[in-house]
Structure 1
Amino acid sequence: MFGFFIFIFQLGSTGLIDETPPLFAAASRAMSETGNWLTPRVNGLNRFDKPPLIYWLMGSFYSIPGHDLWDPLGTWAARLPSAMSSLMMMLFLGDTLMKHPVRNNTFPRRTALVASLAFALSPIVIVWGRIAVSDALLCCTLGISLLLNWRTYVYKDSSNNWWSAWVVLGLAVLTKGPVAIVLTLMTLIIFGYFQKDYLTLIKKTKPLKGLCISVLISSPWYIAELIVEGKPFFDSFFGYHNLQRLTSVVNSHSQPWWFFVMMLLIASFPFTPFLISGLINYFYKILSPNRSYYINKTDNSLLNFAGSWLISVFILFTFAATKLPSYWLPATPAAAIIIALSSGKSIHDDRKVSIHYLSISFFMFLMAILLSNPEIWINTINDPEMPELASELLESGLVTRAAIYFYLPAFISLYFAIGKKSRNLILLQLPFIIFQIFVMLPIWKLADGLRQKPIREVAKQLTLLHKENEEPIAMVGIKKPSLHFYANKLIFYESNDVVALVNLSERLREENRAEWTNETTFSEGRSPTVLVVIDKKTNDYPHWQGMNAKEISSFGIYKLLRLDIGTLKQREILLKKEGVVSDWRKPRNERF
Structure 2
Amino acid sequence: MRAFKDMMKKRYILFLIPFILYIALLGVMPQMEPDEARYSLIASAMNETGNYVTPHIKNTIYLEKPPMVPWVTAVFFKLFGENDFSARLFAGLCAWGCILLTFFIGRHFRDEKTGLYAAAVLTISIFPFILGRINILDMPLTFFVCLSIWLGYLSLSTEKKQYLFWLFYLTCALAFLTKGIIGIVFPFAILLIWLIWTGRWREILKLISPVGIVIFLMVACPWIYLAQKENSDFLWFFFVREHFLRFTTQMHGKAEPFYYFLPFIIGGTFPWSVYLIGAWQGKNKTTSLFQKDENKLLVVWFLFIFLFYSASSSKLVTYIAPLFLPIALFAGQIFRIYDEELTEPSGKRKIFYRLALYIQSFLILVAVLLPPILKPYSDDAKGLVVMISGQWWLYILPVVLVAILMIFLPDWIARKARSGWFVTMYLLSGVLLAGTLLPITDFLSPYRSSLVARDAIARYVPAGHLLYQYRINFYGIDFYNKIRTPVVEDFGELADGIIKMPEMEMKKYFFSVQGFHEKVEQEKEIYCITQFPEKLKQLQSRYAHVDVLWENGAFYLLHIRNKTKD
**Taking structure 1 as the reference length, what is the TM-score of the superposition?**
0.77
**In the alignment, which residue of structure 2 is the partner of 1:476?**
470
Aligned with residue 355 of structure 2, among 350, 362, 370: 362
User: Which stretch of structure 1 is more off in the superposition, 410-419 or 159-168?
Assistant: 410-419
Alignment-derived partner of residue 321 in structure 2: 329
Question: Contact 2:361–2:406 (CA<8 Å) still a contact in 1?
Answer: no
Q: Structure 1 counterpart of 2:303, which letter?
A: I
Corresponding residue for residue 269 of structure 2: 268
Residue type of the partner of 1:458? Answer: A
Describe the SS at the equivalent of 1:548.
strand
Q: Secondary structure at the match of 1:538?
A: helix
Distance 2:460 2:28 in 1: 27
Shift of 1:147: 1.3
Matches within 5 A, 1:99-498: 100-102=108-110, 108-200=111-203, 202-203=205-206, 205-206=207-208, 210-231=212-233, 233-272=234-273, 301-344=293-336, 361-372=354-365, 377-378=370-371, 379=373, 384=380, 387-389=385-387, 392=390, 395-412=392-409, 414=411, 422=419, 425-437=422-434, 439-447=435-443, 449-451=445-447, 455-463=450-458, 468=463, 470-494=464-488
Q: Which runs of 5+ in 2 are unaligned?
A: 1-15, 492-500, 510-515
Q: Distance in 2 between matches of 1:5 and 1:195?
A: 40
1:83 aligns with 2:92: yes
Partner of 2:6: none
Residue range with higher mean Cα deviation, 74-83 or 344-353: 344-353
SS of 2:29's equivalent?
Answer: coil
Residues 509-549 of structure 1 deviation map (CA, whole Å, 9 limit, x = unaligned)? 9653798xxxxxx9989964321112342345456523123
> Could you say if the C-alpha distance between residues 109 and 164 of structure 1 is closer, same or farther in structure 2, counting changes exceeding 3 Å?
same
Partner of 1:504 in structure 2?
none
Residue 180 of structure 1: how far off its partner (Å): 1.3
Tell me if 1:59 matches 2:60: no
Kindly provide the CA deviation profile for residues 67-89 of structure 1, in whole angstroms up to 9, marking residues without a partner as x: 55xx6xx1122100000111111
Offset of 1:122 from its aligned partner? 1.8
Alpha carbons 1:303, 1:341 under 8 Å: kept: no
Contact 2:548 2:559 in 1 (8 A): yes
Alignment CA distance shift 1:257-1:77 (3 Å):
same
Percent sequence identity over aligned pairs: 16
Q: Distance in 1 between matches of 2:89 and 2:133?
A: 8
Q: Deviations over 1:90-124 (max 9, x none)?
A: 112212323x142xxxxx33311221122222212
For 2:247, the aligned partner's letter is L
Residue correspondences, number: 523
| 1:560 and 2:563 aligned | no
* 1:97 has 2:68 as partner: no
Measure, in 1, the Cα distance between the counterparts of 2:414 and 2:354.
8
- Larger displacement relative to structure 2 (337-346 or 131-140): 337-346
SS of residue paired to 1:561: strand
Give the secondary-structure state (helix, strand or coil) at the position aligned to 1:161.
helix
**Aligned pair in 2 of structure 1 residues 121, 86: CA closer, same or farther (>3 Å)?**
same
Q: Is 1:34 the equivalent of 2:42?
A: no
Give the 3 Å change call, closer, same or farther, for CA 361–43 of structure 1 in structure 2: farther
Q: What TM-score comes out, normalization by structure 2 length?
A: 0.80
Q: Distance in 2 between matches of 1:317 and 1:352?
A: 38
Task: Decide whether the 8 Å contact of 2:40 with 2:73 is kept in 1.
Answer: yes
Q: Work out whether residues 52 and 174 of structure 1, in 8 Å CA contact, stay in contact via their aligned partners in 2.
A: yes
Rate the CA distance shift 1:307–1:418 in 2: closer, same or farther, 3 A: farther
RMSD: 4.0
Q: 1:360 and 1:119, CA in 2 relative to 1: closer, same or farther beyond 3 A?
A: farther
Q: After the TM superposition, which of the residue ranges 300-309 and 45-54 deviates more from structure 2?
A: 300-309
For residue 8 of structure 2, what is the aligned residue in structure 1? none
C-alpha distance in 2, partners of 1:190/1:275? 29
Task: Return the offset for 1:364.
Answer: 2.9
In the superposition, relative to structure 1, how do residues 363 and 202 fare at CA in structure 2: closer, same or farther (>3 Å)?
Answer: farther
Local SS of the residue matching 1:562: strand
C-alpha contact 1:372 1:400 (8 A) present in aligned 2 = no
Q: Distance in 1 between matches of 2:480 and 2:366?
A: 39
Shift of 1:3: 0.7
Residue 59 of structure 2 is aligned to residue 44 of structure 1? yes
For 2:204 and 2:281, locate their aligned partners in 1 and report how far apart those are by CA, in whole Å: 25
Task: Determine helix, strand or coil for the equivalent of 1:531.
Answer: strand
Would you say the 8 A contact 1:372–1:399 is kept in 2?
Answer: no
Please give the secondary structure, in 2, of the residue aligned with 1:533: strand
The whole-number CA distance in structure 2 between the counterparts of 1:60 and 1:383 is 41
In 1: Cα distance, 2:278 partner to 2:192 partner:
24
Distance 2:95 2:24 in 1: 13
- In the alignment, structure 1 segments of 5+ residues that lack a partner are 103-107, 286-293, 498-506, 516-521, 572-592
Q: How far 1:464 sits from its partner (Å)?
A: 5.5
Match of 1:288 in 2: none
* Counterpart residue type for residue 159 of structure 1: Q
Q: Is the 8 A contact 1:386 1:451 kept in 2?
A: no
The alpha carbon displacement at 1:561 in A equals: 1.8
1:551 to partner: Cα distance: 1.3
- Is this contact kept in 2: 1:15–1:448, CA < 8 A? no
Separation (CA, whole Å) in 2 of partners of 1:52 and 1:373: 41
Cα gap change, 1:335 to 1:374, in 2 (>3 Å): closer
Contact 1:114–1:426 (CA under 8 A) maintained in structure 2:
no
Shift of 1:157: 3.9
